[in-house]
Structure 1
Amino acid sequence: MIEKEVNPHFEDFLFDWSTKFQFLVGGYGSSKSYHVALKLILKLLSEKRTALVVREVYDTHRDSTFSLLEEIVIDLELDHKIKCMTSPMQLRFPNGSKIIFKGMDKPAKLKSINNVSIVWIEECSEVKYAGFKELLGRLRHPTLDLHMLLSTNPVGEDNWSFKHFFKDDQNRRIVLDDNELYEKRTVITNDTYYHHSTADDNLFLPESYIKQLDEMEDYDPDLHRIARKGRFGVNGIRVLPQFEDWPRERVMEAIGTIRDPIERVGMDFGFEDSYNAIVRMAVDHKQKILYIYWQYYKNKMTDDHTAVEIDEFRQSEELIIADSAEPKTIQYFKQKGFRMKGAKKFQGSRLANTKKVKRFKKIICSSDCVDVVRELKYLTYKLDKNGHIIPDEFSIDPHTFSAIWYGLDGYEVSDLKGGSISF
């Protein structure tokens, strides 16, 4: 018989092994890691199992997961039964159970692991997606149920952990709306037990610590969302906070109501790591709204193959405004019968084009344009070494943003009085 006072929000979690995956996300000081560690010890005391605890870097275990597990063993007065060995780090139980520790920075050492029936990935957002999939392959046992526990502080919605367990806009995959988890606190679906926690769930925290978390809202809203509210979101300053994605039918219906819409097509060129990106746009100049309703997005495509795939533009004779840094490519398309011209470039044009797009009151994109949504919805500025934004550099290389720049060449959000533009 073991008696241990725990936080009420974690009581059901401690003894629920009904799912293969258990995903815990929470703010600072919510006690999620503590309760995962306690849950692991209780399970291995009751059943003979081998559990693997993983972090991205092996050496970080000593002062985190190993130290936490050892602290709980001592607190439960089980240190005379459970041996906490430091070289190599390992916990051995009287029934033959054991906990071993590995780091994804030494993947070769994973190959020697056998009969692991439980894996705990601490700070799973720091582990690469390829590492997560590798660990799934290591989770195997001939007779026992398999379980993977994942714990993390929330990160950006572009992280694999959010895309895999919640929403992946690029692949149009929705597993669980994270807002539902924040509201219900625990959700079980698709063989996954989801658990959300904040500092308020840890009854053992001093008020001074919670006050410190509350104060973050005044000087670092992003960190406050992560640390205090325990919620995923956008890490950094968004370039286009007015960006929204709507169902295609709604977008086309809205475009249909525009009087004298300004129709534009922009194209960015790419091949190996970059992409050929084309966007069709419609501008409601009066309302200052930019609509994006069609995209083309591919790489490793030679010009002749691209010309075949976008032949509809040759047939429709739509004007494509493209990256003028590729005059040879533009000339090739023109020779193939496409209406294409290069956008004007000048010193400071990146910043000028970014400011131009930011002047729209709304930027509304069809949800069918998955790559536009993926690149622009959560696009943030790159920061310099002092933490200040660089106004014409971004967290990723957004090819669709470049296509929008080129397509809007010659258009001014503030100055143009309406109607179409002649060239």
Structure 2
Amino acid sequence: MINISKLIGSGYNRFWHNKNFYRVVKGSRGSKKSKTTALNIIYRMMKYKWANTLVIRRFSNTLKQSCYTDLKWAINKLGVSHLWKTNESLPELTYIPTGQKIIFRGLDDPLKITSISVDVGILCWVWFEEAFEIETEEKFRTVVESIRGSYDDPEFFKQVTITFNPWSERHWLKRVFFDEETREDDVFAITTTYRCNEWLDEQDRKRYESLWKTNPRRARIVCDGEWGVAEGLVYENFKVSDFDIEKVIHETQATSYGLDFGYVHDETAFVALAVDQKEKKIYIFDELYEKGLSNQKIYERLVEKGYEKSTIIADSAEPKSIDELKRLGLRRIRGCSKGRDSVMHGIQFIQNYKIIIHPKCVHFIEEINNYVYAKDREGNTLNKPIDEFNHLMDAMRYAMEVFMEKRKARAVPSLY
């Protein structure tokens, strides 16, 4: 007999038993929301023989290392691995006694979602993991509309489970599921934090707690699961929108790449962008955002992405790293220009453009939603940005130097 309270621990009892149509968890990092959801789905599917589950993330290539892995972990945690069949290639999970299925899809292929059918029971449950990656409510609604039909069982219920970290209060998830005046009917919504995770590693727990001392603004989001507040944003004219990357590159004929170095405590941040000078638009179409990368690893990651021959403008504060990357094979990498007020000059230049971000650039989206102007001790806004959420923002600034230089060149009058 499984002891559910011992299995899930504290903070999720109401979530576990809830049967509202929408079951939403906004949580901090380390709040065990994904692991608890995975356990709940496996447990419930073995209880209700009519249930099949569709698991959704914005991009299909992120499913295998996240939701699929979590659900396999849940099967083993419950001690029922002999009752489940795994299919790594699809991926897919099948409950052997009945043939019920857990199906995985990405929103990057909507046709494969609308055409899903099951052999046993009904497709009645959906789990949207990392729902903050879904840039429009319309994409979300398309999937929800596929959850229809009924089943002849008094215990039958349909449910959409949504889990995410709250990056910005401007996201549609807040309006649809959390704001009293606009929220959907039939919603159960909670916020959980790392404090309800009794199995969290002690080192991680101390790291979260120390964040309150070093970076209280980030701690409110990362530790307490609060919405990122958009007040005082450095860049306000941006949107997340799916676009054809190859088409944009071809039509603009103006790409550039920026690199900000990091290592142990900060991420190495790389951004790829295309610029439409006529329409004053910057298209963000690729990123790299990872801690602990040596220069060799940076080189390998950028080669994997196909940028070996690209002109990359990097942080000139690290000339040694630039020289090493050049020796490794990034022949066209160079340092950015720095001088008095160069940060604000770069920001002001970029503010003349509309920034359009491809939804796969999730770290860029997080940063731009939280990159705000600093304040003094009295709460007055200063004419400089905060020193956080800025690695990709700096990389964008470096990449845009190319276009700043072109503008300066045009402004110099000819002597002949």
Whole-Å separation in 2 of the counterparts to 1:46 and 1:25:
26
What do the CA deviations read for 1:196-249 (whole angstroms, capped 9, x no partner)?
A: 111110011133211101222344444311110111132685469xxxxxxxxx
- What pairs with 1:115-134 in structure 2 (closer than 5 Å)? 115-128=122-135, 129-134=137-142
Give SS of 1:116's match. strand
Amino acid in the other structure paired with 1:28: R
| Preserved contact between residue 29 and residue 199 of structure 1 (Cα < 8 Å) | yes
| Preserved contact between residue 49 and residue 96 of structure 1 (Cα < 8 Å) | no
Q: 1:163 maps to what in 2?
A: 175
Change (3 A) 1:41 1:390: closer
Q: 1:211 maps to what in 2?
A: 206
Q: 2:227 maps to what in 1?
A: 232
Change (3 A) 1:91 1:386: closer
Change (3 A) 1:32 1:224: same
Q: 1:39 maps to what in 2?
A: 40
Give yes or no for the alignment of 1:147 onto 2:155: no
Change (3 A) 1:212 1:236: farther
Whole-Å separation in 2 of the counterparts to 1:386 and 1:100:
34
| Preserved contact between residue 211 and residue 219 of structure 2 (Cα < 8 Å) | yes
What do the CA deviations read for 1:272-320 (whole angstroms, capped 9, x no partner)?
A: 999xxxxxxxxxxxxxxxxxxxxxxxxxxxxxxxxxxxxxxxxxxxxxx
Whole-Å separation in 2 of the counterparts to 1:25 and 1:378:
17
Amino acid in the other structure paired with 2:160: M
- What pairs with 1:221-300 in structure 2 (closer than 5 Å)? 221-234=216-229, 238=233
What is the CA distance between 1:148 and its match in structure 2? 0.2
What do the CA deviations read for 1:355-403 (whole angstroms, capped 9, x no partner)?
A: xxxxxxxxxxxxxxxxxxxxxx999569876645999xxxxxxxxxxxx
Amino acid in the other structure paired with 2:101: K
Q: 1:16 maps to what in 2?
A: 18
Amino acid in the other structure paired with 1:3: N
Whole-Å separation in 1 of the counterparts to 2:175 and 2:182:
9
| Preserved contact between residue 51 and residue 118 of structure 1 (Cα < 8 Å) | yes
Change (3 A) 1:113 1:389: closer
Q: Which segments of 5 or more consecutive residues in structure 2 lack a partner in the other structure?
A: 236-278, 282-344, 352-368, 374-384, 398-416
Whole-Å separation in 1 of the counterparts to 2:200 and 2:215:
22
Whole-Å separation in 1 of the counterparts to 2:370 and 2:390:
19
Amino acid in the other structure paired with 2:61: D
The answer to which of 197-206 and 7-16 deviates more is 7-16
Give SS of 1:229's match. coil
Whole-Å separation in 2 of the counterparts to 1:235 and 1:389:
21
Change (3 A) 1:21 1:108: same
- What pairs with 1:19-418 in structure 2 (closer than 5 Å)? 19-47=20-48, 48-93=50-95, 94-114=97-117, 115-128=122-135, 129-143=137-151, 144-167=156-179, 174-175=181-182, 190-234=185-229, 238=233, 380=372, 387=393
What do the CA deviations read for 1:160-206 (whole angstroms, capped 9, x no partner)?
A: 11121123xxxxx7246xxxxxxxxxxxx831111211111001113
Change (3 A) 1:127 1:147: same
| Preserved contact between residue 156 and residue 232 of structure 1 (Cα < 8 Å) | yes
What is the CA distance between 1:3 and its match in structure 2? 3.4
Amino acid in the other structure paired with 1:156: S
RMSD (Å), alpha carbons: 3.4
What is the CA distance between 1:60 and its match in structure 2? 0.9
Change (3 A) 1:228 1:92: same
Change (3 A) 1:142 1:229: same
Give SS of 1:83's match. strand
Equivalent residues, number: 245
Give SS of 2:157's match. coil
Change (3 A) 1:110 1:11: same
Whole-Å separation in 1 of the counterparts to 2:90 and 2:392:
40
Whole-Å separation in 1 of the counterparts to 2:392 and 2:64:
32
What is the CA distance between 1:70 and its match in structure 2? 0.3
Whole-Å separation in 2 of the counterparts to 1:73 and 1:236:
43
Amino acid in the other structure paired with 1:166: F
| Preserved contact between residue 26 and residue 153 of structure 1 (Cα < 8 Å) | yes
Give yes or no for the alignment of 1:2 onto 2:2: yes
Whole-Å separation in 1 of the counterparts to 2:67 and 2:234:
37
| Preserved contact between residue 84 and residue 94 of structure 2 (Cα < 8 Å) | yes
Amino acid in the other structure paired with 1:133: R
Larger radius of gyration: 1
| Preserved contact between residue 371 and residue 390 of structure 2 (Cα < 8 Å) | no
Give SS of 1:117's match. strand
| Preserved contact between residue 238 and residue 379 of structure 1 (Cα < 8 Å) | yes
| Preserved contact between residue 25 and residue 163 of structure 2 (Cα < 8 Å) | yes
Amino acid in the other structure paired with 2:199: F
Whole-Å separation in 1 of the counterparts to 2:213 and 2:200:
22
| Preserved contact between residue 52 and residue 125 of structure 2 (Cα < 8 Å) | yes
Q: 1:297 maps to what in 2?
A: none
| Preserved contact between residue 14 and residue 38 of structure 1 (Cα < 8 Å) | no
Q: Which segments of 5 or more consecutive residues in structure 1 lack a partner in the other structure?
A: 168-172, 177-188, 241-271, 275-347, 355-376, 392-423
Change (3 A) 1:233 1:62: same
Change (3 A) 1:387 1:45: same
| Preserved contact between residue 155 and residue 235 of structure 1 (Cα < 8 Å) | no
What is the CA distance between 1:96 and its match in structure 2? 2.7
Give SS of 2:145's match. helix
| Preserved contact between residue 27 and residue 197 of structure 1 (Cα < 8 Å) | yes
Whole-Å separation in 1 of the counterparts to 2:228 and 2:391:
23
